[in-house]
Amino acid sequence: MVVSFAQIREEYPGVFSESCPTRVVLDHVMSKWGVLVLLALTDGTIRWGDLRRKVDGISEKMLASTLRTLETDGFISRTSYPEVPPRVEYSLTSLGDALMERMLPLMEWVAANADDITAREKPARCGPSEA
């Protein structure tokens, strides 16, 4: 690994420590659903129901739970309109924006390489190469 990128260990020698706050934040933003919810929010403000439909496979429980965690962390903001039926909108805060600025390059790389990576594990992923 290039040295210039590995300086995190010098600046933050405690990142490997069990008690490091980094662990907590990492668990939130890099959780199975946290990543996808945050990514969905890079689109801009979005309603609860739209979010649920957008993040394929997420349950209501996990969506609510994930949103609350990320809101507590300060990554997203929740706006509730006193209407009936209710309308609630979520969006990234400036902190969340800063986070995603670093996360998106990683996501794009993963999205671009995921096929090749998983393909190597399952001999034939789709095409009838030798069946």
Partner DNA sequence: CTGCATCCTCTCGGATACTG
Partner DNA sequence: CAGTATCCGAGAGGATGCAG
**Alpha carbon distance 52, 59 (integer Å):** 8
Identity at 88, one-letter amino acid code: V
128 interacts with, out of DNA, a second copy, none, CB within 5 to 8 A per kind: none
Number of residues that make up the chain: 131
Candidate segments 63-71, 91-99, 107-115, 121-129, binder of DNA by CB under 7 A:
63-71
By the rule CB under 7 A, 64 interacts with DNA: yes
User: Is residue 85 reached through a cis peptide bond, with omega within 30 degrees of 0 on the bond before it?
Assistant: yes
Considering only residues 71 through 100, tell me which ones interact with DNA, judged by CB under 7 A: 78, 80, 85-88
**Alpha carbon distance 13, 7 (integer Å):** 10
What is the binding site for DNA (CB under 7 A)?
31-33, 47-50, 57-62, 64, 67-68, 78, 80, 85-88
